[in-house]
Chain A
């Protein structure tokens, strides 16, 4: 077991909001050896890793599996094996994940499922399959467009995934079990929306950093328990709490995958309050509900939702993604946006100029940061964020 992975321990806190938040922190602090995963394994049930938000969790859940999101180390690492196996020009997220896998961090997994979302994810899956043996491996073709034919293909793909998973677990995945899973995951989405909407307030009671901690925990525990934790937080959150009293600007975070909440914390400590984002580890993961139409199978509804969900930069055309980013920026009244793109994340790099142009046309300046996955911050990042906040303040005057 790689001890480097265990990072953050919950700090002792007193108020009810903080106590509610600590429950999520505890999960992150112990991951991957969380009591939830250990208990699930002890009961002889399977745990699967999933990579990318185009892999429907509901299907795994309906098969009695505990789906765990594959992430890398929660901090920036020296990617020795990552570089050796995936080469330095692959994104540091994929290298971090692979290194963690190679060092035994995911030995508890019974299998892995991924989607053909980007080059780095595809290669990560290729190498994982070759060098880290798991008894279940499934790759889903994820169309890169939204046409009716694309939807048909994606539906066929997740039907195959469902069948494969049924064979592997020996558990029949029925419409009833899928409907039950949809209900649980939709509840989670509703709760998250309530929580995220609190950030629309002038002085939100929760920080962007805390939101990332909550999101991360949600990837590492049973959804039912996560929902209980969320309900507890929403009940106990003190809405008069000012997450940061020294807020200098309301910010949106845009860009590629982000795992370390400390990165957001470092921005917020400078006075930039992160009120919304379009990250696949946050808003983009939960955003759309699954709506089952009359006379429609639950699998069909899952399929439609996952392909139509708040798009990743891989999707073509990019109009829908740009529209949703604009809507979020307006809805959360942001003063500026910080684009954080993991080094060598090609789809987001290509999209940056389009996002920047669109947001600037709305009067929202964009600071672009090239980061390594897991980074907490750096002197250079702090200087640039500081200058950006000063610019935003100057703009307001």
Chain B
């Protein structure tokens, strides 16, 4: 294990790794442009965090589904809790340390390991101390309830953004008010005013990114499908970290071009393509290399992730940035997990399986994720009705001790055998 004592050492180690991966990528023509850009963007994101103090910038740490466009528009350095800490964990192999520290803070195993790890990363001083915490209940109790602990660890102020459950006019209005209050909070904390023109530009950027994401989804319907498993996590990372920013647009455009080329050449992510599967929930981030290798070996390709890549219908209007951010939060693919799960979500799952010609589906059942696991039976039943088998793969998003690679391999191979026999 790398012995990294403090924040700057840790981030510098990370930056060196990102630079090395770009360098290696450039030397290998088979590495596609967007893959190199991915590491370039990570370098940029973490460099900004590293230099924030020296440059007198304000750092706001925030949970995944906060409208990051606001932070960029106020020239605040965003530090997204989930992705920042778990990229750190992945590249420094300190995930277990983070989780153990979270346990020491009183977060038992019932709290998802991702949130335990975030609290642990802050407590160990691996992440820089933020100037403020902004967090929300989108998408679960664990995210909502961790905010006060992160505030306490960092001894900094915070703002909790409350998402209503439904999508009535009153609830949308409430959410708008919450966003306004959050802006006021940030203005008070930073002494800066919101740059509304910048926010409008960011909203326009987000709309552009949603449109490209939709086009990418369309490309993935092709047979063979061009999208690699690792690209899913990379795409999520970039769009989560650079919401509405030109960096995310550039990445998505590049990814789209690379995928378009593959489709026009009839080139799939795996060759030959034997099994088209739909992924439900998130696969363990530390098993991404394994899943890539397994997919290549077995001709398995993930064609869709309905809960993470399929945006709901709708448009954003940059001239009305606040309303658009509300609209965006209701269009988020992941929001289908927060709203009451009924016919609409079930239809989305079924339609996706049909449109993407899925042979089967894999539910990554994160052992500590209640709100996703509780849907597995519902999803299994509706997929069963259209004769699409569902594999339930117990795992943990970030805790490597829960499922071994061998165990995953065995279950996946059994599932593919089942698909082959049909």
Which A residues lie at the B interface, using CB under 8 A? 84-87, 89-91, 116, 118-120, 122-123, 125-127, 129-130, 139, 141-145, 147, 149-150, 152-153, 156-157, 160, 313-314, 316-318, 343-347, 349-354, 356, 370
Contact = CB atoms under 8 A, between A and B. Distances in A.
B378 A350 contact: no
15 contacts: A87-B374, A87-B377, A90-B370, A126-B340, A147-B181, A156-B170, A313-B145, A316-B148, A317-B148, A317-B160, A346-B370, A349-B108, A350-B141, A350-B146, A356-B106
- Of B147, B174, B371, B374, the most chain A CB neighbours within 10 A belong to B374
A90 B342 contact: no
Given A89-B368, A318-B148, A344-B370, 5 more contacts: A87-B377, A89-B367, A153-B170, A317-B160, A346-B140
A345 B108 CA distance: 11
Contacts of B147: 316
B304 interface: no
Interface stretch (B161-169, B325-333, B411-419): B161-169
B148 A354 contact: yes
B373 A89 contact: yes
B292 interface: no
Given A129-B342, A318-B148, A349 B107 contact: yes
Interface in B136-153: 137, 140-142, 144-149
A125 B339 CA distance: 12
B299 interface: no
Contacts of A350: 107, 111, 141-142, 145-146, 149
Nearest to A91: B370
Contacts of B370: 87, 89-91, 119-120, 123, 344, 346
Nearest to A342: B110
A157 B170 CA distance: 9
A316 B174 contact: no
Nearest to A351: B145
Contacts of A370: 108
Provide the main secondary structure of the chain A interface. helix
B365 interface: yes
Contacts of A147: 181
Contact of A120 (B178, B342, B368, B374): B374
Interface string B150-187: 00000000001010111010110010011001000000
Interface in B333-375: 340-342, 365, 367-371, 373-375
- Of A119, A125, A149, A316, the most chain B CB neighbours within 10 A belong to A119
B376 interface: yes
Contacts of A160: 168
Smallest CB-CB A-B distances: 9 pairs: A353-B106, A350-B145, A123-B374, A87-B373, A116-B165, A119-B371, A141-B165, A346-B141, A153-B174
Interface string B104-148: 011110110000000000000000000000000100111011111
A122 B165 contact: yes
Contacts of B149: 350, 353
- Of A85, A149, A343, A347, the most chain B CB neighbours within 10 A belong to A149
- Of B106, B140, B177, B375, the most chain A CB neighbours within 10 A belong to B106
Nearest to A114: B340
B106 A144 contact: no
A149 B174 contact: yes
A90 B374 contact: yes
A343 B370 CA distance: 12
B365 A87 contact: yes
Given A118-B141, A119-B140, A149-B178, A86 B106 contact: no
Interface of B: 105-108, 110-111, 137, 140-142, 144-149, 160, 162, 164-166, 168, 170-171, 174, 177-178, 181, 340-342, 365, 367-371, 373-378
Contacts of B342: 126, 129-130
A349 B110 contact: yes
Contacts of A314: 141, 144-145
A123 B145 CA distance: 18
Given A87-B373, A123-B371, A130-B342, A352 B148 contact: no
A350 B174 CA distance: 26
Nearest to A87: B373
A135 to B, nearest CB: 16
A346 B145 contact: yes
Contacts of A89: 367-370, 373
Contacts of B171: 141, 153
A149 B373 CA distance: 32
B282 to A, nearest CB: 15
A144 B340 contact: no
A143 B374 contact: no
A106 to B, nearest CB: 19
B292 to A, nearest CB: 28
A380 to B, nearest CB: 16
A316 B144 contact: yes
Nearest to B376: A87
Nearest to A355: B106
A307 to B, nearest CB: 12
Contacts of B340: 122, 125-126, 129, 139
Contact of A144 (B162, B166, B365): B162
A143 B148 CA distance: 17
Nearest to B146: A350
A116 B137 CA distance: 11
B377 A127 contact: yes
- Of A127, A129, A143, the most chain B CB neighbours within 10 A belong to A143
Nearest to B167: A141
Contacts of B137: 144
Nearest to A144: B162
A350 B370 CA distance: 14
A144 B107 contact: no
B378 A316 contact: no
Contact of A353 (B105, B164, B165): B105
B148 A149 contact: no
A28 B104 CA distance: 41
B52 to A, nearest CB: 27
Nearest to A159: B170
Nearest to B373: A87
A141 B165 CA distance: 5
A103 to B, nearest CB: 16
A89 to B, nearest CB: 5
B37 to A, nearest CB: 36
Contacts of A149: 174, 177-178, 181
B141 A347 contact: yes
A317 B369 CA distance: 23
